[in-house]
Structure 1
Amino acid sequence: MAKRTDIKKILIIGSGPIVIGQAAEFDYAGTQACLALKEEGYEVVLVNSNPATIMTDTTIADKVYMEPLTLEYIAKILRYERPDAILPGIGGQTGLNLAMQLEKKGVLKECRVELLGTSSESIERAEDRELFKELCQSIGEPTIPSEITYDLEQAKEAAARIGYPVVLRPAFTLGGTGGGFAYNEKELVEIGINAFKLSPVHQVLIEKSVKGYKEIEFEVMRDGNDHAITICGMENMDPVGVHTGDSIVVAPILSLNDHDLKMLNDSALKIIRELKIEGGCNVQFALNPDSSEYYLIEVNPRVSRSSALASKASGYPIARVTAKIAVGMALEEIPVAGGTAAIEPRLDYIVAKFPRFPFDKFTNAANVLGTQMKATGEVMGIGSTLDECMLKSVRSLEIGAYHFHLPKFDPMTTEQLVDYIREFRDDNVFAITELLRRGMTVAELHEKTQITELFLESLERIVKMERLLAEKPGDEKVLTAAKALGFSDRFIAKLWKCTELDIYNKRHELKLTPAFRMVDTLHTGKYIAYLYSSYQGENQSRLTGKKKIVVLGAGPIRIGQGVEFDYSTVHAVQTIKRSGYEAIIINNNPETVSTDYTTADKLYFEPLTVEDVMNIIEFEQPEGVIASLGGQTAINLAQPLFDRGVKLIGTDCAAIDRAEDRNAFEHLLNDLDIPRAKGQAVTKIEDGIKAASEIGYPVLVRPSFVLGGRAMQIVANEAQLRHYLKTAVEIDEDKPVLVDKYIQGKEVEVDAICDGRDVFVPGIMELVERTGVHSCDSISVYPTFSISDKVKGIILQYAKKLGLGIGIVGLFNIQFIVDPQDNVYIIEVNPRSSRTVPFLSKATGYSLADIATEVIMGKTLKEQGIFHLYPEEKTRWYVKVPVFSFNKIRGLDAYLSPEMKSTGEAIGYDNKLNRALYKALQASGMKLQNYGSVLATIADCDKEEALPLIRRFYNLGFNIEATAGTAKFLKENGIRTHVVKKISDDSDEIKEEIRQGYIAYIINTSDVGSQGQQSDGYEIRKCATENNVNIFTSLDTVRVLLDVLEETTLCISTIDA
């Protein structure tokens, strides 16, 4: 096949906002695909509504539309742009589903647009459960006994025929959404109601459970000439039953014999050929651990999370090659790492991917794992052995663990631990290691968990080395062996009862330092600057004579630290390269653009700990290290690196301390004459009670030095405060808790850049929700819509004073409260890049991360042509709306609070504010209905404010439903209201109405501090999120929704009205 010359313009559909199940891996894939097609001379048009991505930079595609990813908007873009083709498999399930809808609705035919790469028939055969089953049967490939069902009755009958337990798998959903295991009919009905609702084609597969089988995956690639190769085989540590995104995954496959490995590999290649998939494809198998019996679980005919992992694990750019195959190129015509894409990668090292879960933030949510994905992100460790790469992965997770040890398991009895691991949980591997410490055997644990012995033996080797270290403190041979196994200095220090620095010094005495090995799987002889550390093998990292700068990445994606920080990291690297320096990245997240080895001059795929970073810095000897762009991960490394003599460039440690240390910050604000809410830092419970009574309730309480508002709460009285201080946080001399006066007002946010002499504020963002909701869970608008020029002036002066007063060099972020009297208070200053940097960069047209990196490297704002504190505001409105993944994590409360809960964000922009809001709400995935029922359960303190809002719904033609107290109030004020019984009165009326889809919107507010887990409100919110019904816990959001609905709804009236 030859490269297509009959097409000139190609549309790529992105994956939209980050949700659990669809994260940064699609930014990486989309960026690769856009650049690959531009490289071949095609004009690339991109549609994606996620402002936090590199992909949506105007340098990546020729034209970027950040419009909602709905059929209506994509059709408009197609009709306007008239591209020759669409590349559908790059934007995850979202992009694939949209491409299929465009074809079914006839839009592609109308616009004469073809689908590139895999045909719609092939996509249909892979994605539709029934067609896939027929295909497998026709080529003799075994599939799990299953039946396709279209309603609950059919599902019940199918389950009875197949026999429980069964798995429910809704068709065309993402990350296993809506699926699950059912052990009886009651559970089947519970899961089934939601599963049918979430499948866009109302189709659910009822499948025999093969829980306990090994889960094996292959990433395969095929071109138009029917040349197919295997990129990477991967093995899940957890058996079938846990979503692969939630499982520890190891590559290459280690536990299979040659016969089974060849059998599954041949099957994967047979499938990709039969489906005629052109590009990358992921094939998942269930293998009986006691025989060679296997079943095909599923095929993803697109770039996926697994393909991002396989790309980083093998160094083979799957998305890039897929894009080139789509335009007719053959594997042997596509250059990759000194060879061609036709060469099968061969790994001479081992990688382990560990999922990163949000349960540290959501302690009330159930941490039991199943077929529905719950991880927000992932890390990858590369090592010479399985033990080494697994220990590196644990260090990378940033969950407070530097080893397979979590203090929470220490007080548990052996019986409790055995009971704990009966179900799949997010931290089972730590509990299993603890059981090995207590003498349980590999065979016993294999029987209890069905985890392959090979992985348990690795954990056993680690436990044996712990014992040896404890028995022989100071022994040099044991130290050498422990480092070769992958142990950290910090954990060895713990066992030897000394400091981490002592171990570091001892290693240097012994010249015990790691080698840096190259990720080279094509073995073409070309040097590839993609490196990992190991205490085994020769060093392969080449030093150049160039001056170099190291940028610390942001680690795994979690709530509070998302892809926005990767955006800043990548921009910094690009700026460093343009300035003539060698740019080096250290990061450990396989999903991101920053860990594509072509992004920087050199990539070290390593844990972001002091020890691992120091090893690289000592080897590379850079001019400086940038720690202010990788979120809290990088900032937390600044002080310990500085203490070891590392030259940090940009904001220094003293400045970070002035912004983050409570007392230092208070002194600075007094010196600068900038007001903030009254507050105190306390280290004892009684001091906290005393402080709150002096300040006056309600108060906002939180631990200091946290990201994403972890464990932040508004409390209304002493009883609630006591409960919080006893249960929600650790409080002692080293861990002060902040108690602040809660001021209700407008929240305003700025990102700014300071060069030591001048400050630049590119834009001021106003938040829709009042204080009390985390800024990233609030709707954010640029330019501001209700702030006076006088207040803007005060904000700008405070920003200038703070940048210079703290000593910022580079980016910083400030949050303000504006009270009803227009007094401006400071909430906090973050002396680093923030989550709003990509959004504000795209809204204002100023590339903040690039400007800040130039500043960090010594180029002043004036030298960059920036002479004003605040540029002229844009006339167009830009809106950022948070996106949540509540329906993925059962038990997670949707009540918005100071604790951040959103996983992603969407953008909307227009010349009219309400239209921009409408587009942003649509882009966030909200179902905007202009008819139906509104259910209101309003706290007494909010009733007066809620009344005009509910009247507006009523005037739009909505039915109003409410619980007794709210209904009485509404009726007294002339609003016809249907009374529904409370859940606490033993009634299922509300839940049933939500489940049946009768309710369009729910408004649920609580008195300050009373949104407890046992309340009716909690049950309503839980039911709403499980059934994808819009729920609002802030009246400010409701007001915005009404503005939008009134703008977009055609109302009726009599002729004489």
Structure 2
Amino acid sequence: MPKNTSIRSILIIGSGPIIIGQACEFDYAGSQAALSLKEEGIEVSIINSNPATIMTDKVIADHVYLLPLTCESIEQILSERQIDAVLPTMGGQTALNLCIEADERGIWSKHNVDIIGVDIAAIEKTENREEFRQLMVDIGIGVATSKIANSFLEGKEAAQEIGFPLVIRPSYTLGGTGGGFVHKKEEFETALSRGLQASPTHEVLVEQAVLGWKEFELELLRDNNDNVIIICTIENFDPMGIHTGDSITVAPAMTLSDRCYQDMRDQAIKMMRAIGNFAGGCNVQFSVNPETEEIIAIEINPRVSRSSALASKATGYPIAKIASKLAIGYNLDEIENQITKTTSAYFEPSLDYVIVKVPRWNFDKFKGANTELGLQMKSVGEVMAIGRTFIEALQKACQSLETNRLGLGADGKQNRNLEEIMHSLEHPSSDRLFHIKDAFEMGVPLESIRKVTLIDKWFLQQIQELVHLEVELKRYQLNNIPKEFFVTLKQKGFSDAQIAWLLGNVTEEDVYQRRKSLDIHRVFKMVDTCAAEFPAHTPYFYSTFEDENESVVSDRKKVIVLGSGPNRIGQGIEFDYSCVHGLIAAKEAGYEAIMINCNPETVSTDFNMADKLYFEPVFWEHVREIIEHEKPEGVIVQLGGQTALKMAEKLHEHGIKIIGTSFENMDLAEDRGSFSDLLKDLDIPYPKYGVAESAEEALKVANEVGYPVLVRPSYVLGGQGMSIVINDEDLEKAVVKLLRNLPGNRVLIDHFLDRAEESESDSISDGEDVHIIGLMEHIEPAGIHSGDSNAVLPPFSLSDNVIKQMEEYSIKLAKALNVRGLLNIQFAVKDEKVYVIEANPRASRTVPFIAKAYDVPYINIATKVMLGANKLKDFTIERKLKGYAIKEPVFSFNKFPDVDKQLGPEMKSTGESILFIKDLNDEKFRELNTKKSMYLSK
């Protein structure tokens, strides 16, 4: 049927600040849904408290409410706007839970608001563990033996009846929060208590654990005519026992027999139809016995899921976009295929390539944490790679992770301790994938690895083949590698840097030049959803090594925007927000805007955001060949955080134009020692400092500048490796650790300004004029990373004298660094004197926050300034903030209950929310001001 014309205004509920288990994949879904509904002439309102995401930007929705995700906020919106319907399926568990609470309070019925995309009964059937189990039994779908428990006693009785090992699954949680496996009786009581506390309904499912079984996910869509299609089948590389968010996943499924796949399809469709009134996207998870192919259902989610973003990018099929149209009444056959433009959306995508997703962890930020992977998700982000084969995609994914690996091994970082390796294989953590490769290199038989990991033999054989290829490569020298074998290496995903390391006496550049001389080069293939059966019109590409190139270069002037790679603590969604606005601004300035990024969760990798998308690692070899192919006017590195900035030196060395601030000036600001010298020349106060390249030098510097000292490396983001030390012994440990983890880096040692206030500024410069975007005052003192501090915009207690100094130094530094674009400066304030701690000539974590608070498109302005399309004087900038905006960090310590939660110079927060207050009498502000006074008086 056609769309429901009675729906003229829709409210989309967002997912709130980024936390482990619920990240920016839901902001991607919400953004896509909003744009899709606006295409239909529907007025779209969004409620979300996250200032870092593009979802809460005016380019996405007609009305954005940056409010806490509460029923009170919902009531406020419904009293201000005539909302016809609410769409709660795009905002993860947070949105569903809020929708249920509002329904229980009678808010939707009071304001005559329809719930679309799903109904409450369907949510209850799938989120309530007992109702879900009973439904599966009723429709003949296999489930693990289980019992529901609403109390400690009921849980113990269930465990006694079922027997160990067990899995505990709390109701109404996301990311496995509160859940876990229990292998023996002694662990059970603690695990049961944790699960009951995590569930908002104090309910858990105590279930038989099917450890070692295979795990699969299906992404489905269903319309109002009960038509159901399978968008993507995803196989977990890791067996049951590891949360899907922490598992390496592969699409399409690699080891699934056709008979088992057809059974799984039939069961998924049956499940989706059984949950009731539902039109939209759905995620179903199954477990399969590897010996008998018995299938049991794990869960079904009547909403877009964490995997929906991955499936959308994997297939080119925009699940959230289509799901939102189904929610307003359309059927699948009435919607246009967004890729081919000639067929309908009522088709199942077909892939002629392989997708691999690898999670990204940040265990270094949670010292003392239990890093073993299990049912409770612990990863902070992920990368996706596309290749013609599984192993090519897996190697590309490893190159995308930004963990200083050149691929899957072959880079000098192998572990050679067999005992450690075998322990890692049995007790999986973030490095198990690499340790599987290490085990093969040390001669461990495949069957031995399979027995301890329970990973399918086919996947292990693929990794073992890499070891065989490496052994064969070492028989040659660079100048006599046969072309056919060289091509094989590249098709298996080996980077030039890996080949250089394996050969031992050549450089990456030598390998690159040699293969070019053999006419072995990267070609680009289109993601078209239909395995080239129909012509496609969407410029969405990945690279491989074949003959035919499908990326046609236009004659337009073009610019490349480098993305920010995988989300992690210190570099999150705020940089993707900047990249998206950079693309929009570049297009408005008349450029063909090209995106390079490898993060499947984000809006920047939506296939219709850039004029051309290369879903590739932000890794030098890949970036270089895209640049050689496209020949852009230049590359923007300023918007993608440290990921993009790390490319600047290579771009500079190869004569590739960097749009905006030059490499020399970015390098000057990044190099802590050189930057302090600049401050001295400019007569700008800064803490006493020194630079060291060894522990001996560090001790000498520390005693000259005086303890306490702040120890930090150059060229890092998110305070990585920073620490405050108070004596020689601690200093020596800190410096030795830094130089071990970041070899070749220089260590800066600053005198630490104890009990100093911290503040920061963000600015835009066009080389002549400087516009200060915003000044922020931190609640937490210097010594606590700015990303972990509450920040108030504009300052509320800093004197006019201090503000004048901050403004003066911001302008001085922007001009001295010859900034073209953005500049963030961190200040410490003590006794009315302002000291500059650091300056970053790039997009910062705080620019999106300021842009939302003042309602000014600052990234758009900065990008046009960088491109030379406009001068600052061309823009009329009007700030609309009345009162104050507060940036509140959000942490995910609940995932690591035993971790040190003490805040310091190394950032630990995973996200943030924004809060507006009208005046300083607000209760929230008084609470923060009291907190600041307490800090400074210590």
Shorter-chain TM-score: what band? over 0.9
Instruction: Provide the C-alpha distance between the structure 2 equivalents of 1:447 and 1:186, rounded to a whole number of angstroms.
Output: 25
**Cα displacement string for residues 881-900 of structure 1 (whole angstroms, at most 9, x for unaligned residues):** 00000111343211000010
Conservation of the 8 A alpha-carbon contact between 1:384 and 1:536: no
Number of the residue aligned with 2:497: 490
Of residues 745, 764, 767, the one that matches 1:753 is 764
**8 Å Cα contact 1:907/1:920 also seen in 2:** no
Which residue is 1:14 aligned to? 14
When structure 1 is superposed on structure 2, of 681-690 and 853-862 the one drifting more is 853-862
Which of 565, 568, 572 is 2:582 aligned to? 572
Task: Say whether residues 1:516 and 2:524 are aligned partners.
Answer: yes
What is the distance in 2 between the residues matched to 1:321 and 1:543? 30
Partner of 1:330: 331
SS at match of 1:55: helix
Which residue of 2 is the match for residue 507 of structure 1? 515
Matches within 5 A, 1:64-79: 64-79=64-79
Relative to structure 1, is the Cα distance of residues 465 and 917 closer, same or farther in structure 2, using a 3 angstrom cutoff? farther
Question: 1:606 corresponds to which residue?
Answer: 616
Q: Does the 8 Å contact 1:878/1:908 carry over to 2? A: yes
Matches of 1:656 and 1:779, distance apart in 2:
27
Q: Following superposition of structure 1 onto structure 2, how do residues 802-817 of structure 1 map, counting pairs within 5 Å?
A: 802-817=813-828
TM-score with structure 1 setting the length: 0.86
On the 8 A contact 1:588/1:607 being kept in 2, the answer is: yes
Given that 1:683 and 1:733 are in contact with CA atoms closer than 8 Å, whether structure 2 keeps it comes out as no
Q: Which of 479, 498, 507 does residue 486 from structure 2 map onto?
A: 479
Task: Specify the alignment match of 1:340 in structure 2.
Answer: 344
3-state SS of paired residue (1:335):
coil
Greater displacement, 654-663 / 553-562: 654-663
Superposition map of 1:607-626 within 5 A? 607-626=617-636
Task: State the match for 1:414 in structure 2.
Answer: 418
Residues 406 and 502 of structure 1: CA distance in aligned 2, closer, same or farther (over 3 Å): closer
Counterpart of 2:932 in structure 1 is 1036
Q: What CA deviation, in whole Å up to 9, does each residue of 1:143-182 have, x standing for no partner? A: 1111110011110110110001101110001100011111
Residue equivalent to 1:913: 920
Q: TM-score, normalised by structure 2?
A: 0.96
Q: What residue number does 2:322 align with?
A: 321
| Residues 385 and 615, structure 2, Cα contact 8 Å, conserved in 1 | yes
In 1, Cα distance between equivalents of 2:743 and 2:103? 63
Q: What does residue 372 of structure 1 align with?
A: 376
Structure 2 counterparts to residues 932-971 of structure 1, below 5 A: none
Matched residue SS, 1:421: helix
Contact 1:909 1:917 in 2 (8 A): no
Match of 1:741 among 751, 757, 766: 751
Q: Provide the residue aligned with 2:713 in structure 1.
A: 703
Distance 1:753 1:196 in 2: 50
* Aligned-partner Cα distance in 2 for 1:66–1:1038: 29
1:646 to 1:732, Cα distance in 2 relative to 1, 3 A: closer
- Cα offset for 1:866? 5.4
Preserved CA contact (<8 Å) 1:68 1:919: no
The residue type equivalent to 1:367 in the other structure is T
Is contact 2:583–2:609 with CA below 8 Å preserved after alignment? yes
Tell me whether 55-64 or 439-448 shows the greater mean CA deviation: 439-448
Of residues 692, 696, 709 in structure 2, which corresponds to 1:686?
Answer: 696
- Select 2:834's aligned residue among 824, 833, 853: 824
Q: 1:49 to 1:1038 in 2, by over 3 A?
A: farther
Alignment of 1:854-865 (within 5 A): 854-865=864-875
For 1:980, the equivalent position in structure 2 comes to none
- 2:31 counterpart residue number: 31
Offset, 1:874: 4.2
Paired with 2:317 and 2:926, the residues of 1 have a C-alpha distance of 37
Are residues 766 and 265 of structure 1, via their aligned partners in 2, closer, same or farther at CA, if it must alter by over 3 Å? same
2:748 aligned counterpart, secondary structure? strand
1:378-399 Cα shifts (integer Å, max 9, x gaps): 0001000111000000000001
Structure 1 residue 454 displacement after superposition:
1.4
Q: How does 1:917-936 map to 2 (within 5 A)?
A: 917=924
Q: Which residue of 2 aligns with 1:426?
A: 430
Amino acid at match of 1:906: S
What corresponds to 1:846 in structure 2?
Answer: 856
1:293 maps to 294
Q: Conserved in 2, the CA contact under 8 Å of 1:909 and 1:915?
A: no
Query: Which amino acid is the alignment partner of residue 590 of structure 2?
Result: G
Aligned-pair distance for 1:526?
2.4
Q: Is the 8 A contact 1:908 1:916 kept in 2?
A: no
Correspondence list, 1:140-219, <5 A: 140-219=140-219
Deviant stretches of 4+, over 6 Å: 406-409, 918-921, 1037-1040
1:756·1:809 contact (CA, 8 Å) conserved in 2?
yes
**Deviation of residue 537 (structure 1)?**
5.0
Q: What is the rounded CA distance, in whole Å, between the counterparts of 1:197 and 1:864 in structure 2?
A: 56
Deviation at 1:415, TM superposition (A): 3.1
CA offset at residue 285 of structure 1?
Answer: 0.4
Contact 2:10 2:84 in 1 (8 A): yes
- Picking from 447, 454, 461, the partner of 1:457 is 461
SS of the residue 1:181 aligns to = strand
Partner letter of residue 543 of structure 2? S
> Aligned match of 2:780 in 769, 782, 796?
769
Structure 1 pair 373/588, CA: closer, same or farther in 2 (3 Å)? same
Q: Distance in 1 between matches of 2:521 and 2:411?
A: 29
For residue 941 of structure 1, what is the aligned residue in structure 2? none
Q: Assess if the C-alpha contact under 8 Å between 1:906 and 1:920 holds in 2.
A: no
1:1037 Cα deviation from its structure 2 partner: 8.4
Separation of aligned partners in 1, 2:216 and 2:864: 46
Q: 2:883 matched to 1:876? A: yes
Distance in 2 between residues matched to 1:1038 and 1:17, nearest whole Å: 27
Cα drift, residue 772 of structure 1: 0.8
Displacement of 1:732: 8.9
Q: Does residue 366 of structure 2 align to residue 362 of structure 1?
A: yes
Deviation at 1:363, TM superposition (A): 4.5
3-state SS, counterpart of residue 815 of structure 1? strand
Is residue 2:296 matched to residue 1:311?
Answer: no
Residue 609 of structure 1 deviates from its aligned partner by: 0.9
**Is contact 1:406–1:430 with CA below 8 Å preserved after alignment?**
no
Summarize deviations over 1:117-154 as a string: whole Å, max 9, x none: 21111111111111111111111001111111001111
Write the letter of the residue equivalent to 1:301: P
- Specify every segment of 5 or more residues in structure 2 that has no aligned partner in the other structure, as ranges: none
For residues 363 and 666 of structure 1, the distance between their equivalents in structure 2, rounded to whole angstroms, comes to 30
Report the CA distance shift for 1:862/1:422 in structure 2 as closer, same or farther (over 3 A). closer
Partner of 2:895: 888
The separation in 1 between residues aligned to 2:58 and 2:921, in whole angstroms, is: 26
Change (3 A) 1:141 1:530: same
Please list the CA deviations of residues 322-368 of structure 1 after superposition, one character each: whole Å capped at 9, or x if unmatched. 10000000111111221221011001100000000002333532220
Question: 2:541, 2:551 within 8 Å by CA — same for their partners in 1?
Answer: yes
Q: Aligned equivalents of 1:9 and 1:29: distance in 2?
A: 18
Q: CA deviation at 1:75?
A: 2.6
C-alpha RMSD of the superposition = 1.9
Equivalent position amino acid for 1:476 in 2: P
| 2:97 equivalent in structure 1 | 97
Correspondence list, 1:505-584, <5 A: 505-522=513-530, 523-584=533-594
Whichever residue aligns with residue 824 of structure 1, its letter is: V
Is contact 2:411–2:501 with CA below 8 Å preserved after alignment? no
Distance across 1 between alignment mates of 2:935 and 2:330: 53
Which segment is superposed worse, 858-867 or 844-853?
858-867
Return the alpha-carbon distance in structure 1 between the equivalents of residues 890 and 410 of structure 2: 31
Q: Contact (CA 8 Å) 1:878, 1:916: kept in 2 or not?
A: no
1:731 shift after superposition: 8.2
1:578–1:727 Cα change, 3 Å: closer
Contiguous gaps of at least 5 residues in structure 1: 922-947, 950-1034, 1041-1057
Deviations 1:90-140 (A, max 9, x none): 111000111111111211111111100211111111111111111111110
Query: How big is the shift at 1:491?
Result: 0.5
